[in-house]
Amino acid sequence: MSDVKKVVLAYSGGLDTSVIVKWLQETYRCEVVTFTADIGQGEEVEPARAKAEALGIKEIYIEDLREEFVRDYVYPMFRANTVYEGEYLLGTSIARPLIAKRLIEIANETGADAISHGATGKGNDQVRFELGAYALKPGVKVIAPWREWDLNSREKLMAYCEEHNIPVDFSQSKKKSPYSMDANLLHISYEGGMLEDPWAEAEEDMWRWSVSPEAAPDTPTYVELTFDKGDIVAIDGQPLKPHEVLEKLNKLGGDNGIGRLDIVENRYVGMKSRGCYETPGGTIMLRAHRAIESLTLDREEAHLKDALMPKYAEVIYNGYWWSPERRMLQAAIDETQKNVSGVVRMKLYKGSATVVGRKSEQSLFDESIATFEDDAGAYDQKDAEGFIKLNALRLRIAAGKGRLQD
């Protein structure tokens, strides 16, 4: 007899998690609570309610978390200009801490003994969900069916559905995307299928959020982004909530062919994985944020922040959002953002997001010093001689000993 009486499942309403509901009921003889989060995946989440009810679920949670997702997770991450391995904007990674938090909160509210998820044993998401869960509820039991059952193919899942009369939308005759996809307000990802060959170019009809750069309009789109303490608060002067900002930038970026990415990344579990991503709004946000920082951050502050970023990106990618090191890094990053306010003007054109203007009342750019014209004595060029000689002193000493020779 299982000691699990009730489990909270991260439930999408799709094939995998519908099978998991029945499998949990049969294997653990437990009550299942379903939790479906709307984080901007672009699909209706309410139909998950009817599917859960058809499976005998009594406690069903369906929640709109879009604003919280962008405000409390995406925005803090973008204050750091976070990029994993030089390219990936962490669209999947940053959604997992919020889902893990709500799973634990619902478990506490409903008196559940365990949580469950549909992440496979080969991916990063199992790590992210579970590290978050253990950080927030150390004694929680986690059930990961993909690490326990033998339903390791679509055919076996479909056979299980037929055997147990599980109502799902898919059938053998209905065309299904060959890719494993994950979407939220920040991005949509594609893995599997022909993408498992790193040499094969992604098919044009795979992309869902953006036109190809070649098909984008021949006239550029200009947009002005207003920042307050490192976060975008308005577009073209119109105040918007964080999730509304990202929704609008996704549309603008997608229409102009911006944000496509094709990479091979190093998963935390050890393997390399090829994936394609669309992050139109995030791509624009990153360029604009770096532009406003270029005006407002002190040089050494900016350089130290850039040095911390790869570690911060790795922490999030690997699933340690709730760790002390992420909190420590976040505190340092947020401290730098106090004066990161102003407006950035972007030009969006055929796949490129180009900064064409920036202004700020907190700007450290001093035109009277930087000018190539007469600076009226604002900068004494003779001062550079001593500066250079002092910085060259160690090189001159070493060269005198012959140490700098090949």
Q: Which of 164, 192, 227 is the last residue of a domain?
A: 164
CA-CA distance, 170 to 284, in Å (whole number)? 36
Q: Which of 132, 164, 196 is the last residue of a domain?
A: 164
Task: Give the CATH number for residue 34.
Answer: 3.40.50.620
H/E segment holding residue 231: strand 231-235
H/E segment holding residue 389: helix 383-400
Please indicate, yes or no, whether residues 327 and 185 belong to a single structural domain of this protein. yes
Q: Are strands 188-191 and 180-183 parallel, antiparallel or unpaired?
A: antiparallel
* Tens digits of residue pLDDT in 353-367: 999 999 999 999 998
Residue range(s) defining the domain that contains residue 385: 368-394
- Residue 90: its pLDDT value, please? 98
**What are the binding residues for ATP?**
10-18, 37, 118
Please indicate, yes or no, whether residues 214 and 298 belong to a single structural domain of this protein. yes
- Give me the DSSP letters along 78-138: HTTT--BTTTB--TTGGGHHHHHHHHHHHHHHHT-SEEE----TTSSHHHHHHHHHHHH-T
For 267-273, which contacts have Cβ atoms below 8 Å and span 24 or more sequence positions?
267/123, 267/124, 268/124, 268/127, 268/317, 268/318, 268/319, 269/122, 269/123, 269/124, 269/127, 271/122, 273/191
Active site residues: 16, 96, 125, 180
Please indicate, yes or no, whether residues 150 and 186 belong to a single structural domain of this protein. no
Handedness of CA 393, 396, 398, 400 (dihedral sign): negative
Handedness of CA 106, 107, 111, 112 (dihedral sign): positive
Listed residue (180, 190, 117) closest to 154, CA to CA: 180
- pLDDT > 90 fraction of the chain, expressed in percent and rounded: 87
Residue 401 within any structural domain of the chain? no
Number of domains in the chain: 3
* Tens digits of residue pLDDT in 149-195: 999 887 898 899 989 988 766 444 455 678 889 999 999 999 999 99
* Tens digits of residue pLDDT in 16-40: 999 999 999 999 999 999 999 999 9
Please indicate, yes or no, whether residues 244 and 142 belong to a single structural domain of this protein. no
* Tens digits of residue pLDDT in 264-281: 999 999 999 999 999 999
Residue 215 within any structural domain of the chain? yes
**What are the binding residues for L-aspartate?**
120, 124-125
The residue assigned the tokens 């978050």 is 132
Amino acid 321 reads W
**What are the binding residues for L-citrulline?**
88, 93, 124, 128, 180, 189, 265, 277
Residue 402 within any structural domain of the chain? no
Please indicate, yes or no, whether residues 143 and 207 belong to a single structural domain of this protein. no
